[in-house]
Amino acid sequence: MNRRELFTSAALGTVTLLATSAVGAAKSMVMPWDWTKKHGLTNHMPKDENPLDKEFEKYPRCTYCGMPRQKWSHTRHLIQYDDNSTEGTCSIHCASLSLGLNMDRAPKNIWVGDAGSDAKVKPLIKVEDAHYAIDPKKTGTMAAISKWAYADKAKADAAGAESVTDFDGALQAAYVDMGKNTMMIRKRRAEKRAHMMKKMKEMKKAN
């Protein structure tokens, strides 16, 4: 074998080795969205093709704060992702947590309670059909500022809110308020826990 043939053979061997290594690396590569779907914090969600059926039996409490969703039916949200993973929240505040954690799942359906309904338990409507009334003068569910959704825009306009927007606008507002709301919620819950502990100590002493 002459020098040229030797160099050519060595070059081909190097290319083959690099190609084999590249294929092996590609096979072993785990993309971030694949990892989170398998190992992330949101793998608790059930796969549900029909979330509206027996909604409160399947999703009685908010995943993130534990609030009873039927009690807060006027602000509750129900989210179904593209793989049918589904979870229910009590509010747009907690819905924004779900959407933030599930960055690699696309929402297939999102429903919200119609605050303008006369029914005791508010019916769900698609968020794309909802008009969110944002009112800083009114406390919201898990939030300092209310963001109630209405199927009827006239009712949303008549609610006396500072502004009326669509779901995307309300979601952005929820993220803007996230820091303030989180601090408020943590403070309130700490106070409630302290109050309950005090009551329990008083009951033990009385017995």
Residue 1 has pLDDT above 60, yes or no: no
Q: What is the pLDDT of residue 206?
A: 83
Convert the pLDDT of each residue in 122-138 to its tens digit: 999 999 999 999 999 99
- Select from 52, 104, 50 the least CA-distant residue to 77: 52
Which residue has 């949200």 as its token pair?
77
Q: How confident is the model at residue 160 (pLDDT cuts 50, 70, 90)?
A: very high
- Report the pLDDT averaged over residues 89-110: 95
- Long-range contacts of 47-50, Cβ-Cβ distance < 8 Å, separation of 24 or more: 47/83, 47/84, 47/85, 47/86, 48/80, 48/84, 48/85, 48/86, 49/84
List, in sequence order, every beta strand (DSSP E) within the chain. Answer: 77-81, 86-89, 107-113, 124-126, 131-135, 146-150, 163-165
Cα gap 134→157, rounded to integer Å? 10
pTM above 0.75? yes
Q: How confident is the model at residue 25 (pLDDT cuts 50, 70, 90)?
A: low
Say if CB 77 and CB 126 are below 8 A apart: no
Residue 33 has pLDDT above 60, yes or no: yes
- Report the pLDDT averaged over residues 80-109: 95
- Does 42 or 148 have the greater pLDDT score? 148
